[in-house]
Every structure is written in C-alpha cells, then in structure tokens.
Structure 1
C-alpha cells in the first residue's frame, strides 16, 4: 500500500481492529475533501453532510475489503461518489433525466483534438458556475471527470454505462459547457 502519510498503514490496521481513536483520526483527515466531493454532486450542504457520514460508516464496516491496491483516500472517495450518486438519483427521480434517456448508442467519431477545450482565458469560478448550470447528466459526468479526477473507465463503472455512452456524453457535455462559456 502506498500512502502519502507514513503512518496510514498503521492507522488503517488499527481501524480494522475497531480502534475508535484511529477511526476518529481517519475521519479528521478525510472528512473535508469527502464532504466537498458529496457537495459537488448533490448541491446541498445538509444532504452532503449526511451522505459523507453514511459513507464513512459504510467504509468502516467494509474496511476488510480494502486491499490497498489504491490509496485509502481514493477508495473512500469512490464510496462517497457512489453513495452521493445513489442518493441523488433516489431523491431526484423526476428532476434528473435518466442517463439512459440522455445517452445515445453511438460510436465516438470525434478526434481527441476536437474534444479539447481551451480554458486558459477562463476563470475557474466561471467554469465551475458553467458546469453547475449544465443539465444534471452533463454536470455529473464532467464533475466526475474534471473535478473528481476519475478516468473514463471508472466513470463507466460508477454510472453503469458503456464506454461508447460515456465518450458520447462527455463529448456532448464538453460541447454544452463550451457554448455556455462562450455565451
């Protein structure tokens, strides 16, 4: 296991043994970025807080499944993202377009150069505001890609979509984002 903090391995071992102080230390290290991750998806501070708390509980109960193939933070973040998306979809069944309804079964025909956006002249706040104003399926996929740092394969797993659907949605979301930024 490769972690940025040298004592993380020991801390995780103590957590697996049920040590409450170690769990509290892990919580203190990760609660802020996990809260921010949930907040970017669900867009409500109270809801994000609840989701983060539930994700930590789930992580601590499933800690034996953590094999150390990725950092603990990355493993926990995936739990938070999945839990956020699940809860968001449950609460907003009618408000959110179904990803299946939005996605089209087409092959990716664009070149990588066409997909690139030139954000050098745009402020970060403008990009974030533009992403937040996109329709839900586009906002979620760009948040996972650009803000949370998941690659397309991970996004396919998280959203349970095919690689073709993922590429198409990302392409259309980027196009929509670019239109909003140029407007």
Structure 2
C-alpha cells in the first residue's frame, strides 16, 4: 500500500483480494465504533469484544455481498448489530425467546401518541443509567433508535418483530424511560 492513508474503497478492494494489511487497516478504523455498538447492547466488555471479532470475521468473509449501496461503516454496523442480537438471544433465550409473545398486538392506528422525550436538562450519565435499567427489549429498542440511529422499520427487522409491535415496544420503552427519569 503506497498511499499512507488509503480511502475505504481502496481498502475494500484490497480486502477482497485477501490483503491482510488492508484488513488490519479496516479493523483499526472501525474497531472502536463497532465495539461500542456491541457493548451498548450486551453491557459486557468481554462479550462485546468476542461479538465484535466474530462480526469482523463475518464481514471479511462476506465482503462480496457489500455492493456500496450504503457506506461501508453502515453495512458493517448492521452486521455487528445482528451478530450482537443473535449472540444475545442464544445466551438469553428466556429474555428474548420470542418478542412477539411478550408484546401486545396493536392496530397501526390504535396506539397512543408517542411520549415526548426532552433530555435538555439531563446529564448523559442519568439518561444512560435509566436506559440500562429498562427491560431488555425496551433497552435494545431505544438503543437501536436513539444511539444507533435505526428507524422503526429497521428495528422491527433487526428485532424480528412486526412493525406494529415495534412501534408499541418503542412507545412503551419511552414511557418507561420517562418514568425512570422523572422518579
């Protein structure tokens, strides 16, 4: 690699050719972000490290499926989130066996207006502590929505629940978070 700081497209091309130096460079560029993504979901640094390593291996073996329709970082993040949730579900079968069994079915037009969250006067630590104390499916849904930036459709896909259940979960999670923050 003659370029001291090659762009990601060049690195991806080299990775597809099996270049270990390029893989190492991609890993170094995305390691912290992907580790933090996994950590926010599983809440254990060792477990997050293992998941992140597995996700990078999966990404490097599936690089041919990266078509460039989204940024590489977004594509990799989706792999990390899916790997994290899959791993989490395997370990915590009782907690997330079937989210559809836990959630109530709600008509699309039958759910109440979403709770408004105003964090302006709160410290990040307060919000994060309250978020971490939520039920697992609420914590994961709000983490994917507010921290990871996924929309409702993507969250319902990731969590393998219906869009209606996703909206209900997020709405209830917001209400629960508000109660905890106001307590």
Matches within 5 A, 1:79-158: 79-96=79-96, 98-108=98-108, 109-111=111-113, 114-158=114-158
CA distance in 2, matches of 1:48, 1:169: 24
CA distance in 2, matches of 1:129, 1:67: 38
- Distance in 2, matches of 1:8 and 1:55, equals 18
Matched residues in 1 for 2:179 and 2:6: separation?
45
Task: Determine the C-alpha separation between the residues in 2 that align with 1:164 and 1:8.
Answer: 37
- Post-superposition CA distance 1:110-161 (Å, at most 9, x none): 23xx432111111111111100000101000001000111111111111111
* Alignment partner, residue 178 of structure 1: 178
Q: Using the alignment, how far apart are the partners of 2:165 and 2:177 within structure 1? A: 18
CA distance in 1, matches of 2:112, 2:100: 21
Separation of aligned partners in 1, 2:45 and 2:166: 28
- Displacement, 1:102? 2.3
> Is contact 2:89-2:97 (8 Å) kept?
no
Instruction: Identify the range of structure 1 (92-101 vs 133-142) with the bigger mean alpha-carbon deviation.
Output: 92-101
Residues 44-63 of structure 1: pairs in structure 2 closer than 5 A = 44-63=44-63
Q: Which is further off, 97-106 or 169-178?
A: 97-106
Q: TM-score, normalising length from structure 2? A: 0.92
Contact kept? 1:15, 1:23, Cα under 8 Å? yes
- Supply the RMSD in Å over aligned alpha carbons: 1.5
After superposition, the Cα gap between the structure-2 partners of 1:104 and 1:95, relative to the gap in structure 1 and judged at 3 Å, is: closer
User: Aligned-pair distance for 1:91?
Assistant: 0.6
Q: Is the Cα contact below 8 Å between 1:97 and 1:137 reproduced in 2?
A: no
How many residue pairs end up in the alignment?
177
1:161 and 1:86 map into 2 onto residues whose CA distance is: 14
CA contact (8 A) 1:41 1:143 kept: yes
Q: 1:64 deviation in Å?
A: 0.1
Q: What is the aligned partner in structure 1 of residue 21 from structure 2?
A: 21
Q: Which runs of 4+ in 1 moved over 6 A?
A: none
C-alpha distance in 2, partners of 1:170/1:6?
40
